[in-house]
Amino acid sequence: MAETAARRQPNPYRPGFNQAPLVFAGREEILDAAGEALEVAAFDGRTPRPLILVGPRGVGKTVTLGQIAQIAAVQHAWPTVHVEAAAHGMTETLSARLRTARGLLEGWDPADRPRRRTKITGAKVQAQAFGFGGGIEVERDPTEPARDLGTELRETMTTAMKRGAGLLLTLDELQNAAPAELHALGGVLQEGVPEGWPLVTAIAALPSLRGKRGGRLPTYLERAEWHTLDTLPSSDARAALSGPAERSHRPMSAEAVEALLALSGGYPYAIQVAGHFAWRASHGSDVITVEHARAAEPRIAADLDQLFLSRWEDASPREREYLAALAAAELSHPAPNGGHVAAVLDERVTAVSYLRDRLMKKGTIYRDGTGGLRFITPGMGEWVRRTAEQR
């Protein structure tokens, strides 16, 4: 009987992108900064600088935005307007969602505001109360003409203030936005600063957004509070690995945690993959042992390989040579620059810089804050070295 119940237990790990983990580990510094920004906006009558989270793929930028939305809901009963930027149309989408938020806020009863996550990602508003999803339809006159972003934001903030509420704006994948739209956004947000709107803006982007600094990024965003996300330090990685199992009453042995940590290297995406397959391998047992972790290893490796393989296959033969040289250079420099890579290739920097630029444009590699080159997917360097060896 117990075995059947254990077998039916849902897997508590969330492998994949944009999947909120059951146990969100670490990132205290960012959550504290966001908590403070929300307090400043809610109580001090000031609009704080936007928060910008940058980091490679799969480190948890999107789910961290979700955690900030959770704080806004639980601490302040504020709704969140969320937009994922694409090459076009960010301004229109944002305007439309602000209008939806306004409709929602108009019906907001100051005495009985929902303390649950209210995320506006379309005309239908998703509200999550303690894990139960629900939808709130916002009445809107479809014939109402679309107004510009500045007007929409002003009217939404006026409504919010009347109701004693505020607004969290989360913008994801901002590196995709067209420069003109970034400038429009920066201008509109900056205009609101003297008004002291209860508005907090939290942005997530790949590190290439930094490249838009120095002219291409609006000053208002350039002067934002920047936070870099990378892999989790090992204590947080352990919590992310063992927490979901513990909560689901099938704890992981310390040895299993260490074995899985060695495979995932603190990379949040890989942690969820590792936990997922270890959980699967332990069906019927009431603990996850190191044997289960070892049995899951091939599945975990295959899943992560897929991630690297798709990037590799997207590269031309010359670009692959560059990637292999970068992976080799990593062995002697933690964040090699173009010069180190060119040295491995035995070429002049200028002769191979076009390869570096193409790979940066494709988003396979990026330049970190210190000018070093890195793979956008953590762990890819090691995979490339293994792949190169096998050929």
Member of 197, 220, 226, 269 binding ligand ATP (CB under 6 A): 269
Question: What b-and-e string marks burial along 355-372, b requiring 16 or more CB atoms within 10 Å of the CB?
Answer: bbebbbeebbbbbbeeeb
In sequence order, the 6+-apart residues with CB closer than 8 A to the CB of 67 are 24, 27, 31
**Rounded-to-integer distance, Cα 347 and Cα 350, Å:** 8
Member of 49, 61, 102, 374 binding ligand ATP (CB under 6 A): 61
- Does 352 help bind ligand ATP (rule: CB under 6 A)? no
- Does 62 help bind ligand ATP (rule: CB under 6 A)? yes
- Does 64 help bind Mg ion (rule: CB under 5 A)? no
Nearer to ligand ATP, 50 or 55 (CB): 55
- Does 18 help bind ligand ATP (rule: CB under 6 A)? yes
Point out which span in 17-25, 42-50, 334-342, 350-358 binds ligand ATP (CB under 6 A). 17-25
- Does 248 help bind ligand ATP (rule: CB under 6 A)? no
Nearer to ligand ATP, 16 or 298 (CB): 16
Subset of residues 23 to 52 that bind ligand ATP, contact rule: CB under 6 A: 24-27
Member of 62, 91, 170, 231 binding Mg ion (CB under 5 A): 62
Q: Which residue is nearest to Mg ion (CB)?
A: 62
Tell me the site size for Mg ion, rule CB under 5 A.
Answer: 2
Q: Is the dihedral of CA 364, 369, 370, 371 positive or negative?
A: positive
- Of 188, 159, 173, the closest CA to residue 78 belongs to 159
Nearer to ligand ATP, 63 or 373 (CB): 63
Member of 12, 15, 336, 338 binding ligand ATP (CB under 6 A): 15
Point out which span in 57-65, 112-120, 277-285, 296-304 binds ligand ATP (CB under 6 A). 57-65
Residues in contact with ligand ATP by CB under 6 A are 14-19, 21, 24-27, 55, 57-63, 240, 268-269, 271-272
